[in-house]
Structure 1
């Protein structure tokens, strides 16, 4: 899925099909950002994830331009609260600055509205939009396939500029698709294993007592976050920051943050042992792609 939204978001969803048992949905494809254009967008600090992301975007841009389209490369967005703190906010300084990150979400929503790729897509004719979708995602979700841990099979086109960029960057496109989809699904499974673990549940009890002592009667961090982040009932910023700060302080004082960190490490290793091929492939393909990514960015394509 890439940046022409909402139309390309829908197209990206349609580009991946799901079959099999398990009642699940497709593992999310890596999502391109919708941030404001910035000078030096092709530069990457010593950050492998950012370097690989930007290199892939540069290759997509080059491919789309060869097909007669325009495409803008922009830096990736900052991680939101769910990415930074999937189970509990445990950074008091971050909580005091951002609360639950609704300020970052609103900023990103404004950047989405100003995104040049989105504007370009919306300005195209119906036929032009169809060509953009096909040239980016491929004509049909065929050619790439992965079986997720829950038995669901996801497919995607092995054609189009996204596939071409990933093939050039990672070499083995089939292995890359399979590794990213399976390991992405494992991340969701890991969170479920952590929250279902009796050690997590035991650690939540003192956290909840700490929160009640501060006037916040929530049973667990998911409940407190949900209360403060409902888009239909936005909280005043000071109230949101106060709750997030209490959550972070209580996570430290109750020991919940230590338990979460330990269980995350334990279950990550366990799931990696259950799916050694995809876990190893992801590590290997990223390691091998990193020198290529640096050359691509150094060339400034």
Structure 2
């Protein structure tokens, strides 16, 4: 699911509460000039679902007395994820580790009219907006994750209403999405702990050392070449290209991909219901989402 206005509300929500407690008095601009809403044409099923959910949130928030804008989803390929190792040499030559793309996403987030609107409100109104979007308290939906942790969320608020209208069975949708998200993180951790992964990573590290880059793990090379930690663009690009070149030449990226597939298959076998529920609910939601997007 793409980052949306609800993410801004969650990020600013704690600050809003703190401001309220401290008695800060930001001047409300609830009637500030409102930018027009863009015409959005989603590409693909996931964008259609995301945009439809935002449209339903918009309608709900407006009924609750708040402004809400549906912003265009990020273009496909705006940001690539490499959970194990960068292995695309051409991409690394152009983007390094992706600091340019992250910066562009931050600029887009800063320009988000929903974020600006939220921050323009006085503390009490801001807290009311967060509650209207996310629900007044994190109760009503709950799931026990495979590691025993329990997470919960409100079954009220505009996000819950939008997801209920799209997916129908909101508790099942909550369980499936949160469990699958957890299992994805668990899969990555399992791959990184696998002896076959570590052996391939050691070959990669030897290749990097031969290129004058003494890193034993891709997480180290990324941290060392991170512009946010002081590295310049040339260092970022050179390190990322070396990482990708060594990932391919040593077979590290192939081993990581094969293990990722294997552990992913194992997770599906161990938790067939959540994956089946996710597929079923998503499939059923698509016709509803297309109708919502067509209506606008």
Contact 1:142 / 1:157 at 8 angstroms: preserved in 2?
A: yes
Give the structure 1 partner of residue 139 of structure 2: 142
Task: Quote the RMSD (CA, aligned, Å).
Answer: 2.3
Contact 1:121 / 1:129 at 8 angstroms: preserved in 2?
A: yes
How far apart are the structure 2 equivalents of 1:38 and 1:125?
Answer: 23
Contact 2:37 / 2:69 at 8 angstroms: preserved in 1?
A: no
Give the structure 2 partner of residue 27 of structure 1: none
1:52 aligns with 2:54: no
Q: How does the TM-score come out when normalised to structure 2? A: 0.87
Give the structure 2 partner of residue 8 of structure 1: 10
Deviation at 1:247, TM superposition (A): 0.8
Q: Count the aligned residue pairs.
A: 275
1:265 to 261, 266, 287: 261
Moved more, 159-168 or 287-296: 287-296
Give the structure 2 partner of residue 127 of structure 1: 124
Distance verdict in 2 for CA 1:137–1:74, change over 3 Å:
same
Q: How does the TM-score come out when normalised to structure 1? A: 0.85
1:86 aligns with 2:83: yes
Deviation at 1:37, TM superposition (A): 8.9
Contact 2:6 / 2:133 at 8 angstroms: preserved in 1?
A: no
Larger fraction in helix = 2
Larger Rg, first or second structure (1 or 2): 2
1:168 aligns with 2:165: yes
Contact 1:2 / 1:12 at 8 angstroms: preserved in 2?
A: no
Deviation at 1:12, TM superposition (A): 8.1
Unmatched segments (≥5 aa) in structure 1: 15-35
1:203-257: CA deviation from partner (whole Å, max 9, x where unpaired): 11221111112111110111111212262x2211111011111111111111111
Give the structure 2 partner of residue 214 of structure 1: 211
Contact 1:170 / 1:286 at 8 angstroms: preserved in 2?
A: yes
Distance verdict in 2 for CA 1:57–1:12, change over 3 Å:
farther
Q: What SS does the aligned partner of 1:84 have?
A: coil
Q: What SS does the aligned partner of 2:5 have?
A: coil
Deviation at 1:155, TM superposition (A): 0.7
2:249 to 243, 246, 253: 253
Deviation at 1:92, TM superposition (A): 1.2
Unmatched segments (≥5 aa) in structure 2: 17-34
How far apart are the structure 2 equivalents of 1:102 and 1:212?
Answer: 24
Which structure 2 residues correspond to residues 211-250 of structure 1 after superposition, within 5 A? 211-229=208-226, 231=228, 233-250=229-246
Distance verdict in 2 for CA 1:254–1:197, change over 3 Å:
same
Contact 1:100 / 1:244 at 8 angstroms: preserved in 2?
A: yes
